[in-house]
């Protein structure tokens, strides 16, 4: 059994069957990509992992614990971090503050009434945050407000926010959407480095270049159902995938 296991998940929005009996196993320490044409149900599936949506039936378990019916912050505290399609960061705060917040959350839990000690006296948290910023190449901008960053840098910052918590599972929703080619390649390098440390990753992606550079296993969704699941080189040659995803064109 994998670290994340999705069994017979169904979700309906009115007359639309968004997820149709989806089964998925993510092995610990691997990069698992979920691809599929627009409207295939990729984001719906991801939202079922993080407490944003509740499936109509089926189960989602992470590390032996059900992720259904619990709040987003509880899922994060269990070790699941998420990167959003449009970077979700604290725009009014500085970069270092952006990364210190998750570091506090990882150390002190979901709520601590820590209103007396000053932030500056928590040197260990600051050091961790700064090391993380160095890791993603943003340390020189640590005291800048995060809202001023370029989109590519916001994405890096969001990765730093997630990684400083040492998550067991990292969920990435189109991590290179809207990026220029050079930025995309930088992001791939960064994600490869992260994967190299043994962090389990689930990536939803449109960009095939990104998917085939990163993924060790690919699940293909079409109209809410899993139509293929295999290693990247096998997926490339799969006829059903080419039918559904590429309209029959050769990859």
Partner 1 sequence: MRTLTLSRNDLILLAGYTLVVLGGPIIMAPLGAGYPDLLQKFVIFGIFAVGFNILFGLTGYLSFGHAAFLGIGSYTAVWSFKLLTMNPLPAIVLATLLGGLFAAVIGYICLRRTGIYFSILTLAFAQMSYNLAYSVLTPITNGETGLQLVQSDPRILDAAAGRDYGAVLPSSDLFGIPMNGYPGFYFCGVVSIVCFYLAIRIFRSPFGLMLRAIKSNQNRLNYTGLNTQPYALAAFVVSGMYAGLAGGLLAVVDPLAGAERMQWTASGEVVLMTILGGAGTLLGPVIGAGVIKYFENIFSAFNEGILMAAFDFLPEPIQHLMVNVTSLFVGEGWHLTLGALFMVIVIFLPGGLMEGFNRLSALVAGIVRGRRDGASARGA
Q: Which residues bind partner 1 (CB under 8 A)?
A: 50, 71-73, 76-77, 81-82, 84, 88-93, 97, 100-102, 104-106, 108-122, 161, 165
Q: How many CB atoms lie within 10 A of CB 24?
A: 21
Kindly report the CA angle at 126 between 124 and 131, in degrees rounded to 5?
A: 95
Helix 151-163 crosses helix 123-135 at what angle (to 10 degrees)? 130
Is the CB of 122 or the CB of 156 nearer to partner 1? 122
Straight-line distance from the first to the last Cα atom of the chain, in angstroms, rounded to the nearest whole number: 32
- Least separation in angstroms between residue 119's CB and partner 1 is 6
- Residues contacting residue 189 through CB under 8 Å, at least 6 positions apart: none
Is the CB of 133 or the CB of 235 nearer to partner 1? 133
- Least separation in angstroms between residue 49's CB and partner 1 is 11
- Least separation in angstroms between residue 208's CB and partner 1 is 27
- Least separation in angstroms between residue 169's CB and partner 1 is 13
Three-class secondary structure of residue 35 per DSSP: strand
Is the CB of 77 or the CB of 223 nearer to partner 1? 77
Structure tokens at 4: 């994340």
- Residues contacting residue 151 through CB under 8 Å, at least 6 positions apart: 87, 178, 179, 183
Q: What is the DSSP letter of 209?
A: H
Is the CB of 66 or the CB of 166 nearer to partner 1? 166
- Least separation in angstroms between residue 70's CB and partner 1 is 12
Is the CB of 90 or the CB of 212 nearer to partner 1? 90
- Least separation in angstroms between residue 68's CB and partner 1 is 17
Assess contact for 19 and 44: CB atoms under 8 A.
Answer: yes
Is the CB of 119 or the CB of 246 nearer to partner 1? 119
């Amino acid at each position: 059994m994998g670290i994340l296991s999705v069994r017979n998940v169904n979700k309906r929005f009115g007359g639309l069957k968004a997820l149709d009996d989806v089964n998925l196993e993510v092995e610990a320490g691997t990069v698992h990509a979920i691809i599929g044409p627009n409207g295939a149900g990729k984001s719906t599936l991801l939202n079922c992992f993080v407490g944003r949506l509740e499936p109509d039936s089926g189960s989602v378990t992470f590390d032996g614990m059900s992720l259904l019916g619990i709040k987003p912050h509880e899922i994060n505290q269990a070790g699941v971090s998420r990167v959003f399609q449009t970077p979700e960061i604290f725009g009014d705060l500085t970069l270092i503050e952006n990364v210190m917040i998750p570091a506090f959350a990882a150390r002190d839990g979901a709520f601590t009434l820590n209103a007396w000690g000053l932030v500056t006296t928590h040197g260990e948290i600051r050091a961790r945050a700064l090391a993380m910023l160095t890791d993603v190449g943003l340390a020189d901008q640590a005291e800048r407000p995060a809202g001023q960053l370029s989109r590519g840098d916001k994405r890096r910052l969001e990765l730093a926010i997630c990684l400083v918590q040492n998550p067991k599972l990292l969920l990435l929703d189109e991590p290179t959407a809207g990026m220029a080619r050079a930025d995309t390649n930088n992001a791939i390098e960064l994600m490869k480095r992260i994967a190299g440390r043994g962090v389990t990753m689930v990536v939803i992606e449109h960009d095939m270049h990104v998917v085939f550079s990163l993924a060790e296993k690919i699940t293909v969704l079409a109209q809410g159902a899993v139509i293929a699941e295999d290693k990247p080189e096998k997926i490339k040659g799969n006829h059903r995938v080419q039918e559904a995803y590429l309209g029959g064109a050769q990859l």
